[in-house]
């Protein structure tokens, strides 16, 4: 393994990455300027663990993962062969573009290999095969599996005989934990102070346009949001549904240290929001539905001057393309950073960070 000498690493730190995205592109160096070293012990907790829910992560772990992702994005470390002996199975029984391709890109950039299930119809499931039997086969075929499935219970069924780590790439309407990692990686690059104590006047008002009870990305985003409770003034959930939370998320919100409000009028609160997290597509068990169709953002929206918009994509007409070329657009950077945060996660789960991080960066 060839590791860049400390002097060369330091040189790269001082050079900002080339950004070819439109919209807002925060410099990943923002994340590591204050605390350059990586607290390796915090990431060792992820070694050979499955990632089924966002509640696996704490604030310190998420911050350290984000720093590793920043080093990767800045090309300060070169781990091209770090996972040369690993095979990742991406088992997607539900359509995906960004999640499947970003995981496959992440493992390939780390020198690993990938095998893929692109659709349920191409598997034994189409003939009635049980997921627990498929899980048993993955033990022989791969070293880790990323699964997406329309059914919430699929994760538990697949893990019945599974002995290799599994990452939940979205299970029904339940969770999508690595999407939430990408969301918060983008936000931490934008405002690194979120990971530290800040003055009360700097605390953020988060707006979530969606229904956490049946939108997995929204639910996982909300779980991670509360890790930074000291820097969040309040959270407003904007939904046209009478009950956008459901029993499980309601119980979670009732114990939240951050005030959480529900509003059905986006315009009444929009001008106060620092972050707007949008999603309109929900999987409701029998197919995809578009919820919140009357809540839309465009150039005429009364956004705060420095407000940023996040969206897990795919989008419909709730987020107008006219906002793509504005500084409110953090959603392209959010998608772009997903590869790097997933690389950091793969390196942590396979316990290979010490193979790629110079001694000067390990604390």
CA–CA dist 65, 168 (Å, integer): 17
Top-confidence residue, 279 or 182: 182
| 23 φψ region: left (φ > 0), alpha (ψ -120 to 50), beta (else) | left
CA–CA dist 297, 317 (Å, integer): 9
Name the DSSP class of 186: H
pLDDT at 201: 62
Backbone angles phi, psi at 116, to 5 degrees: -140, 140
Answer whether residue 287 shows pLDDT above 80: no
Answer whether residue 124 shows pLDDT above 60: no
- C-alpha dihedral (349, 226, 276, 251), degrees to nearest 10: 110
pLDDT at 137: 87
Answer whether residue 1 shows pLDDT above 50: no
Token digits of residue 242: 């009478």
> What percentage of the chain carries pLDDT values higher than 90?
60
pLDDT at 121: 53
Mean pLDDT for 241-269 is 88
> What percentage of the chain carries pLDDT values higher than 70?
86
Residue 354: enclosing H or E segment and its boundaries?
Answer: helix 353-356
Nearest of 280, 276, 236 to residue 256 by alpha carbon: 236
Top-confidence residue, 62 or 133: 62
Give the burial class of 119: count Cβ atoms within 10 A of its Cβ; 0-12 exposed, 13-18 middle, 19 or more buried: middle
Answer whether residue 101 shows pLDDT above 80: yes
pLDDT confidence band for 18 (50 / 70 / 90): very low
Q: 3-state DSSP: the chain helix, strand, coil percent, rounded to 5?
A: 40, 15, 40
pLDDT at 116: 86
Q: Mean pLDDT across the chain, nearest whole number?
A: 86
On whether the pTM is more than 0.75, the answer is: yes
Top-confidence residue, 343 or 250: 343
């Amino acid at each position: 393994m060839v590791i860049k000498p400390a002097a060369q690493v330091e040189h790269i730190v001082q050079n900002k990455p080339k950004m070819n995205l439109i919209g807002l592109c925060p410099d990943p160096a923002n994340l590591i300027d204050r605390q350059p070293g990586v607290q390796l012990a915090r990431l060792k907790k992820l070694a050979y663990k499955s990632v089924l829910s966002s509640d696996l992560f704490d604030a310190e772990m998420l911050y350290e993962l984000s720093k590793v992702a920043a080093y990767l994005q800045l090309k300060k470390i070169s781990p091209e062969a770090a996972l040369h002996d690993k095979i990742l199975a991406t088992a997607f029984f539900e359509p995906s573009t960004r999640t499947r391709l970003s995981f496959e890109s992440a493992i390939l950039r780390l020198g690993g290999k990938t095998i893929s299930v692109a659709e349920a119809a191409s598997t034994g499931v189409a003939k009635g095969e049980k997921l627990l039997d498929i899980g048993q086969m993955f033990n022989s075929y791969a070293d880790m599996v990323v699964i997406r499935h329309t059914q919430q219970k699929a994760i538990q069924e697949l893990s019945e005989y599974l002995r290799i780590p599994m990452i939940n790439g979205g299970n029904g309407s339940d969770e999508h934990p690595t999407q939430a990692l990408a969301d918060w990686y983008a936000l931490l690059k934008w405002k690194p102070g979120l990971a530290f104590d800040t003055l009360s006047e700097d605390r953020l008002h988060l707006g979530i346009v969606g229904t956490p009870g049946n939108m997995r990305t929204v639910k996982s985003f909300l779980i991670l949001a509360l890790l930074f409770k000291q820097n969040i003034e309040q959270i407003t959930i904007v939904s046209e549904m009478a009950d956008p939370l459901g029993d499980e998320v309601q119980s979670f919100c009732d114990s939240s240290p951050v005030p959480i409000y529900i509003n059905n009028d986006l315009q009444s609160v929009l001008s106060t929001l620092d972050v707007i997290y949008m999603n309109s597509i929900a999987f409701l068990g029998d197919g995809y539905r578009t919820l919140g169709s009357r809540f839309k953002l465009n150039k005429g929206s009364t956004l705060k001057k420095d407000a940023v918009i996040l969206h897990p994509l795919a989008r419909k007409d709730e987020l107008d393309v006219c906002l793509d070329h504005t500084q409110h657009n953090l959603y392209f950077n959010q998608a772009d950073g997903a590869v790097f945060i997933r690389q950091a996660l793969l390196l942590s789960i396979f316990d290979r960070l010490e193979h790629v991080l110079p001694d000067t960066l390990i604390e």
